[in-house]
Amino acid sequence: MPDFLASWPFWLVFVFLYLGATLRGQGTYWLGRVVTEQALRRTRPTGGWRLRAHAWLQGEGTERGIAAIRRWGLVVVPFSYLTVGFQTMVNAGAGVLRISWPRYSLVQVPGALAWAAIYSTIGFAVWEAALAAAAGSPWGLAGIAALAVVVVATVLVRRRHRAPGAADPALPPRETSSSARDVS
């Protein structure tokens, strides 16, 4: 557990982590909802953070979150809090799908409670133990290095196999006709 939380009483750590999980989930939901509405439908950025936001919201991760919600319904929202990474995809997907805020907030509560319970008890201890075991052993360090090599190689191979001049599927389609002047 982080040092600044270690001296707090359990209930205060739990409430702090619950509020953090809730605010993060709500922030990701609203980012997905508002940015999708405003950015994807009304703008066509050509660079910078706006283009990255477009690409992220139209990317594979958000699509996975949307697909999970469509397949399993809103029950996937609380269960996503038991995962790493998938939670962000699901919360953004709920926003992109424009799930009503009261319904989303209601199904988010059990997930945020479970996340706070895990991380206020064993979550940080398990994470720190895994890192210490990996970093304290030559095999652990080799495993971390191998994982980094695999990730970098995968990204490079995917980029290399993409046809030259082909459109990146994560980016919004480019306007090629006079409809680019559409003012909303």
Rounded to two decimals, what is the model's pTM? 0.58
Same domain? 87 vs 116: yes
Range of the domain at 47: 3-129
In this structure, is residue 175 part of a structural domain?
no
Average pLDDT over residues 32-59: 77
| The domain boundary residue, chosen from 129, 150, 178 | 129
Q: Can you give the pLDDT at residue 104?
A: 94
Q: Are both 156 and 109 inside the same structural domain?
A: no
Same domain, 107 and 160: no
Neighbouring CB atoms inside 10 A of 38's CB total: 11
Query: 52-105: per-residue pLDDT in tens?
Result: 877 777 777 777 878 888 888 888 998 898 887 788 889 988 998 888 899 999
Residues 26 and 108 occupy one common structural domain: yes
d(CA 78, CA 101) in angstroms, rounded, equals 15
- Higher-confidence position of 104 and 133: 104
| pLDDT per residue as tens digits for the range 93-103 | 899 888 889 99
In terms of domains, do 104 and 85 share one?
Answer: yes
Quote the pLDDT of residue 85: 77
Neighbouring CB atoms inside 10 A of 76's CB total: 21
Going by pLDDT thresholds of 50, 70 and 90, the confidence category of residue 2 is: low
Query: What's at 78, amino acid-wise?
Result: P
Overall domain count for the chain? 2
